[in-house]
Amino acid sequence: MASYTDELEAVMAAEQRLRGAIAIAIARDDAGADRASPSSRHLAAADAAIDAWAEEGEEALDQRAFRPLTPLQEMLAEHRALLERIADIQDRRLS
């Protein structure tokens, strides 16, 4: 018998893992940083990058349509999609 897995918990865990991966990607650009585990400074920088990506809106995304996204931008786009999925799951549960 398979155990019950809450979809919301799984998506939220994936969002947190991706947030950490974004912080590690930022740490890679920081010469003296430990690349295996991001510092609180790198996590704060990841949060700032996530917020900036969300605030750019569709105009900035449309301008990028003709050039490839960087690996960091791809992670930020994936993170935004996870946040939207979390919101959708929560909305479904409230209705």
pLDDT tens digits along 49-76: 999 998 885 556 666 567 788 899 899 9
Please give the backbone phi and psi of residue 35, each rounded to the nearest 5 degrees, phi first: -80, -10
Assign 22 a pLDDT band (cuts: 50, 70, 90): very high
Please give the pLDDT value at position 56.
Answer: 80
Higher pLDDT, 5 or 59: 5
**Which candidate, 14, 9, 5, 23, places its Cα nearest to that of 78?**
14
Q: What is the pLDDT of residue 83?
A: 96
φ, ψ of residue 22 to 5 degrees: the values are -65, -45
Across 2-25, average pLDDT: 91
What pLDDT, on a 0 to 100 scale, did the predictor assign at position 61?
61
Q: Identify which of 24, 26, 14, 36 has the alpha carbon closest to the alpha carbon of residue 80.
A: 14
